């Protein structure tokens, strides 16, 4: 069973220019994902990118690089299309799709996901963090799924899983059939809150630099 990882890292970013290689305490952001993957059970670590600069850096850190077509690298395209493109170019049985915006990623989390797949119980897994109920409001200042006259206690509401986007694992044949990063029987790799943060904004970046 050949298990590879794919890190999708396009060059453009509106929020943070060249976000995927922005400095995070002396290392480019993508290094954290490449390092975690390289020290996990995956046999190959790949980076799909439209940026020559990202491709060169990725190779320096030991990853293989796949050129991503321009039409798969804009702000509108979901990364699922890039994973399918990868599956049509590279041979593997299972892929660990890693988003480089989660620098708290660790090889042990990837290995837990791989072990879940190896058990035969799941067709796909993804990372998530448990979320305790909190009162949420929409932008019209209206409560979402709760009543201010009958405010529930946190203990009375079920815990939920929130996807944190760290990584997803799926079988190649399922990916090519569904065109999705997960399908079939899906399992969850639970990530502690402290390791679940993503870098999407400059505020996120400053927070990560303080806690990493």
Residue 144 lies in a domain: no
Tell me the mean pLDDT in the region 165-189: 96
Q: Give the whole-number percent of the chain exceeding pLDDT 90.
A: 82
Q: Look at 15-24, 120-129, 132-141, 160-169 and tell me which has the smallest mean pLDDT.
A: 15-24
Residue 138 lies in a domain: no
Residue 143 lies in a domain: no
Q: Which domain holds residue 189?
A: 3-128+163-211
All residues at 6 or more sequence positions from 42 whose CB lies less than 8 Å from its CB, including other chains: 3, 4, 5, 96, 110, 114
Tell me the mean pLDDT in the region 57-82: 83
* Domain count across the chain: 1
Residue 22 lies in a domain: yes
pLDDT at 157 over 70: yes
User: Could you tell me the pLDDT band of residue 17, with boundaries at 50, 70 and 90?
Assistant: confident
Which pLDDT value is given to residue 73?
64
Residue 158 lies in a domain: no
Tell me the mean pLDDT in the region 130-152: 93
Q: What is the CATH number of the domain that holds 177?
A: 3.90.550.10
Residue 141 lies in a domain: no
CA 120/CA 108 separation, integer angstroms: 19
Q: Enumerate the active-site residues.
A: 151
Which pLDDT value is given to residue 94?
97
Which pLDDT value is given to residue 4?
98
Q: Which of 7, 194, 193 is nearest to 100 (CA)?
A: 7
Tell me the mean pLDDT in the region 60-88: 84
User: Could you tell me the pLDDT band of residue 38, with boundaries at 50, 70 and 90?
Assistant: very high
CA 68/CA 9 separation, integer angstroms: 9
CA 79 to the chain's CA centroid? 10
Q: Whole-number mean pLDDT of the chain?
A: 93
HEC string of the chain? Answer: CCEEEEEECCCCCCCCCCHHHCEECCEEHHHHHHHHHHCCCCCEEEEEECCHHHHHHHHHCCCEEEECCHHHCCCCCCHHHHHHHHHCCCCCCEEEEECCCCCCCCHHHHHHHHHHHHCCCCCEEEEEEEECCCCCECCCCCECCCCHHHCCCHHHCCCEEEEEEEEEEEEHHHHHHHCCCCCCCEEEEECCHHHCCCCCCHHHHHHHHHHC
Residue 135 lies in a domain: no
CA 34/CA 107 separation, integer angstroms: 10
pLDDT at 76 over 70: no
pTM as predicted: 0.90
Which pLDDT value is given to residue 158?
87
Which pLDDT value is given to residue 77?
63
Which pLDDT value is given to residue 18?
86
CA 42/CA 4 separation, integer angstroms: 5
Which residue did the predictor score with more confidence, 39 or 80?
39
CA 39/CA 96 separation, integer angstroms: 13
Residue 146 lies in a domain: no
Tell me the mean pLDDT in the region 28-32: 97
């Amino acid at each position: 069973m050949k298990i590879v990882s794919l890190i999708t890292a396009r060059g453009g970013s509106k929020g943070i220019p060249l976000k995927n290689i922005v400095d995070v305490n002396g290392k480019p952001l993508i290094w954290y994902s490449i390092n975690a993957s390289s020290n996990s059970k995956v046999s190959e670590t790949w980076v799909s990118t439209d940026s020559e600069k990202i491709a060169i850096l990725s190779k320096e850190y030991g990853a293989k690089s796949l050129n991503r077509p321009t039409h798969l690298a804009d702000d509108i395209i979901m990364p699922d299309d890039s994973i399918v493109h990868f599956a049509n170019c590279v041979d593997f049985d299972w892929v660990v799709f890693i988003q480089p915006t989660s620098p708290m990623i660790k090889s042990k989390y990837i290995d837990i996901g791989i072990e879940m797949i190896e058990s035969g119980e799941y067709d796909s897994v993804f990372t998530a963090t448990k979320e305790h109920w909190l009162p949420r409001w929409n932008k019209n200042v209206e409560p979402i799924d709760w009543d201010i006259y009958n405010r529930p206690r946190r203990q009375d509401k079920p815990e939920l899983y929130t996807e944190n986007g760290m990584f997803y694992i799926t079988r190649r044949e399922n990916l090519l059939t569904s065109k999705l990063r997960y399908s079939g029987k899906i399992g969850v790799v639970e990530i502690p809150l402290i390791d679940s943060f993503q870098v999407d904004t400059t505020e996120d970046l400053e927070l990560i630099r303080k806690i990493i």
